[in-house]
């Protein structure tokens, strides 16, 4: 099994290009099922989750054409999905179990074909992650939904019809699934208490390019006027704000100066604000964000995760890593997922001083971490261990890095380009 080995102690310097967002491209790929012509997606990151999604779409019968990008030239991959040959409505357990976002084919299949059978995704390391809000949303649009033998079975006679959907809690995936389903429903759908993540706006932009009538994406109320059909389109995926944030934290922790290129600063307000509180100088110019922390140690910053525009849970582990070597102590409060502190034990193996009580962690900064063998437990936990390895004395070896490949494109090449001593070994 592959591992990543990091030698700590090098302040990062230089430019790094940000890839398309995992959390935007996955729903957008699922949305292509709604069209009755090919849909071309560009700025597609090379990620394991993208491979899984294209396999899922191909398994449904869709035609997939991939134009591979080239790292270093700035040419990202592009994917064209031809949904005209879809002949199955089943998303099998083998694929769904490896990637929860597979449940996002439910809304498109149901809207387009009147039926869908999708394996229940089940829980994962960070929490139980139920899909009840997705299912209630489909029912509000007229579908009959049952759960049997580990599969969600949804069907509707005569097509979905617009309805009022009030989410009990804010869910990114449920907002996306219902928004996609409503694009082809008869009449108007009004969704309340929607998630406002930038990836939802990106998905809506893609759907609008395909002919959907959507207003309010990025606000708590989204209104969708159903249309008869959606056509082909081209859409370029939004920059990954979590990858951006991860590189900025790496720069801050190592006392470096890094410019992220092809970034989208407006989607990162809460993260940039916390980095400034930690003592970083940040300059935004167009799609470039430069963070300068040369010669300084970060100051500890309190974090409470919240739905967008609050501080993203997907950046919590990385900020925990920064707080481990910061000046002072900080409290990290995880409010989105019940079990998203799996990285704590591993950071402790590197010498971090962290005490967890319920959903809060008290982190007392230490002057120096010491390299060790650690194990990644989920995607952002993996990233936090790499960050910690970049500042630890000696060598850190991170095992189970397949989690990392779900969400970071060529992370070791990108970090090497900034001067980090990092390599992947078999």
Ligand X SMILES: CC(=O)N[C@H]1[C@@H](OP(=O)(O)OP(=O)(O)OC[C@H]2O[C@@H](n3ccc(=O)[nH]c3=O)[C@H](O)[C@@H]2O)O[C@H](CO)[C@@H](O)[C@@H]1O
Ligand Y SMILES: C=C(OP(=O)(O)O)C(=O)O
Sequence ranges of the binding site for UDP-N-acetyl-alpha-D-glucosamine: 100, 129-133, 314, 336
Instruction: Concatenate the DSSP letters of all residues of 359-391 into one string.
Output: TEEEEE--S--B--EEE--SHHHHHHHHHHHHH
189 binds ligand X (CB under 6 A): no
Q: How far is the CB of 32 from ligand Y (least distance, A)?
A: 18
337-376: contacts with ligand X (CB under 6 A): 337
Q: Which one, 59 or 310, has the nearer CB to ligand X?
A: 310
101 binds ligand X (CB under 6 A): yes
Q: How far is the CB of 18 from ligand Y (least distance, A)?
A: 15
Tell me 166's DSSP state.
E
Instruction: Concatenate the DSSP letters of all residues of 50-71 into one string.
Output: HHHHHHHHHHTT-EEEEE--BT
**133 binding partner (options ligand Y, ligand X, none; Cβ < 5 to 8 Å by kind):** ligand X
Q: Which one, 263 or 381, has the nearer CB to ligand Y?
A: 381
Q: Which one, 131 or 271, has the nearer CB to ligand X?
A: 131
**380 binding partner (options ligand X, ligand Y, none; Cβ < 5 to 8 Å by kind):** ligand Y
Give percent helix, percent strand, percent coil of the chain, each to the nearest 5: 35, 30, 35
Q: How far is the CB of 102 from ligand Y (least distance, A)?
A: 10
Tokens of 380: 């952002």
Compute the Cα dihedral for 316, 322, 325, 331 and give only its sign.
negative
Region from 166-174, 213-221, 232-240, 248-256 binding ligand X, contact rule CB under 6 A:
166-174
Tokens of 368: 């120096």
Q: Which of 132, 192, 215, 281 binds ligand X (CB under 6 A)?
A: 132
d(CA 30, CA 360): 35
Q: Which of 181, 270, 326, 379 binds ligand Y (CB under 6 A)?
A: 379
**131 binding partner (options ligand Y, ligand X, none; Cβ < 5 to 8 Å by kind):** ligand X
- Kindly calculate the radius of gyration of the chain based on its CA atoms and give it in whole angstroms: 21
Q: Coil, strand, or helix at residue 320?
A: helix
123 binds ligand X (CB under 6 A): no
* β-bridge pairing 222-225 and 257-261: unpaired
Closest CA to 203 of 18, 19, 32, 408: 32
Tell me if residue 124 is catalytic.
yes
User: Where does this chain bind ligand Y (CB under 6 A)?
Assistant: 22-23, 100-101, 314, 379-380, 407
Residues annotated as catalytic (active site), given as ranges: 124
């Amino acid at each position: 099994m592959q591992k990543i080995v990091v030698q700590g102690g090098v302040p990062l310097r230089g430019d790094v290009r940000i890839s398309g967002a995992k959390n935007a491209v996955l729903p957008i790929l699922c949305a292509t099922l709604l069209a009755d012509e090919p849909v071309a997606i560009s700025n597609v990151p090379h990620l394991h989750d993208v491979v899984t999604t294209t396999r899922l779409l191909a398994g449904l019968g869709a035609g997939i054409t991939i134009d591979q990008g080239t790292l270093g030239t700035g040419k990202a991959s592009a994917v064209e999905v031809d949904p005209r040959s879809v002949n199955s409505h089943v998303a099998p357990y083998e694929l769904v179990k490896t990637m929860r976002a597979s449940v996002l084919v439910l809304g498109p299949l149901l809207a387009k074909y009147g039926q869908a059978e999708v394996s229940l995704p089940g829980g994962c390391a960070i929490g139980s992650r139920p899909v009840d809000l997705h299912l209630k949303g489909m029912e509000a649009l007229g579908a009959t939904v049952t759960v049997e033998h580990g599969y969600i079975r949804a069907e509707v006679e005569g097509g979905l019809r617009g309805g009022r959907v009030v989410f009990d809690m804010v869910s990114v995936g449920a907002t996306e699934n219902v928004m996609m389903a409503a694009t082809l429903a008869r009449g108007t759908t009004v969704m309340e208490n929607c998630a406002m993540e930038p990836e939802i706006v990106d998905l809506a932009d893609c759907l609008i390019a395909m002919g959907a009538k959507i207003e309010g994406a990025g606000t708590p109320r989204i209104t969708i006027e159903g249309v008869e059909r959606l056509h082909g389109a081209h859409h370029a995926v939004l920059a990954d704000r979590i990858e951006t944030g991860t590189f900025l934290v790496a720069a801050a922790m190592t006392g470096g100066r890094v410019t992220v290129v092809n970034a989208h600063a407006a989607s990162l307000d809460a993260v940039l604000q916390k980095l400034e509180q930690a003592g970083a100088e940040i300059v935004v110019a167009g799609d470039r964000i430069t963070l300068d922390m040369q010669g300084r140690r970060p100051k500890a910053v309190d974090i409470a995760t919240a739905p967008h525009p609050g501080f993203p849970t997907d950046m919590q582990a990385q900020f925990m890593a920064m707080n481990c070597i910061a000046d002072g102590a900080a409290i990290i409060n995880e409010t989105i997922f019940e079990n998203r502190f799996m990285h704590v034990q591993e950071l402790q193996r590197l010498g971090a001083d962290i005490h967890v009580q319920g959903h809060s962690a008290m982190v007392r900064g230490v002057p120096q971490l010491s390299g060790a063998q650690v194990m990644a437990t989920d995607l952002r936990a993996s990233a936090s261990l790499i960050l910690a390895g970049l500042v630890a004395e000696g060598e850190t070896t991170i095992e189970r890095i397949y989690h990392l490949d779900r969400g970071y494109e060529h992370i070791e090449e990108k970090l090497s380009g900034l001067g980090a001593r990092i390599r992947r070994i078999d």
